[in-house]
Amino acid sequence: MTPLPSPRQLRYLVALAEHGHFGRAAAACAVTQSTLSAGIIALEQQLDAALLERTGAKRPVFTPLGLEIVARARAALGALEAVVETAAAAREPLSGPLRLGIIPTIGPFLLPRLMPRLRDRFPRLKLWLREDLTERLVEALEGGRLDLLLLALPCACGEAETEPLALDPFLAALPEDHRLAARERVPVAALGAERLLLLEDGHCLREHALDACGLPGAAAGEAFAATSLYTLVQMVASGLGVTLVPRLAVRGGVLAGAPVAVRPLDREVGRRLGLAWRARSPRAAEFRGLAPTIAEAIAAE
């Protein structure tokens, strides 16, 4: 029988690829650097293959074969974790640890309403949260570092399965003395003639806002971009332009006393919030079981 690499060896290799540094990879695996190095050398000897280039470079450099083995190691570790998850889900659904990734334009505004509901309905669920941009969350999901994502759809989610939850309509945010603030509803078409303030590249809300206004991928004349919805609101309050804010954020207090008027649009446009998880995850039924509770928190006033 062919001797197989151990999960520990594969974990060392994947950690080194993810952290790009022997010391940080060793810390992530809770071992010494020498232990991690010895484990990878033993793996190379077992496979009779060079996975790293020994060039004296400060950062580890993987050979082409090494990169392929890293990808297969991730898949193998994911399959092993799925064995454990399948057994745990059969014993008691929605219990134990769940690693949830959430984007910054949802997390601060939804979590205060969502977390009490989850604690009340699923008291044995241990939720670990990571807030980050969509692209990095999807990468962490594919790499097995997250189990479930709460984000805005559509998104570049790769092969992940998705579950739409609810529409989060956009509202126009305007300086209080802006001429459009006198209107009961703001025409979407009118925003195309305004200086539309946006979040910086990487935030999916930026693209959703541009799509809602029928604008191209870059707003004409844009000189500044915000890193958060809170900053965006303050820019509007200073009279720098107008923007679109999700209703979820307004209900979550993003205005915080800022001299900003919000008005509904003349037609319903917005982003659709949803869940994403790895295709064929053994916990898919559990994730779908969470959907009604999350949708309820989104709809709450």
Asked if pLDDT for residue 255 goes beyond 90, the answer is yes
What average pLDDT does the segment 58-70 reach?
A: 89
The DSSP bridge pattern shows strands 61-62 and 52-53 to be: antiparallel
Please give the single-letter amino acid code of residue 129. Answer: L
pLDDT in tens, 9-61: 999 999 999 888 999 999 999 999 999 999 999 999 999 889 988 877 678 88
Task: Report yes or no: 276 and 162 within 8 Å, Cβ to Cβ.
Answer: yes
How confident is the model at residue 92, as a pLDDT? 67
Nearest to 75 by CA among 21, 130, 28, 5: 5
pLDDT in tens, 182-203: 999 999 888 888 888 888 876 7
What CA–CA distance (Å, rounded) separates 54 from 62? 9
This prediction has a pTM of 0.74
Task: Report yes or no: 267 and 195 within 8 Å, Cβ to Cβ.
Answer: no
Geometric angle at alpha carbon 44, from 66 and 11, rounded to 5°:
70
pLDDT in tens, 81-125: 777 776 766 566 788 889 999 999 999 999 999 999 999 999 988
Q: Is the peptide bond before 64 cis (omega within 30 degrees of 0)?
A: no
Token pair for 108: 């601060």
Q: In the chain, what percentage of residues exceed pLDDT 70?
A: 93
Compute φ and ψ for 165, nearest 5 degrees: -115, -55
Phi-psi label, residue 8: left if phi above 0, alpha if psi -120 to 50, beta otherwise: alpha
Nearest to 232 by CA among 148, 281, 289, 173: 173
Query: Whose structure tokens read 């009118």?
Result: 190
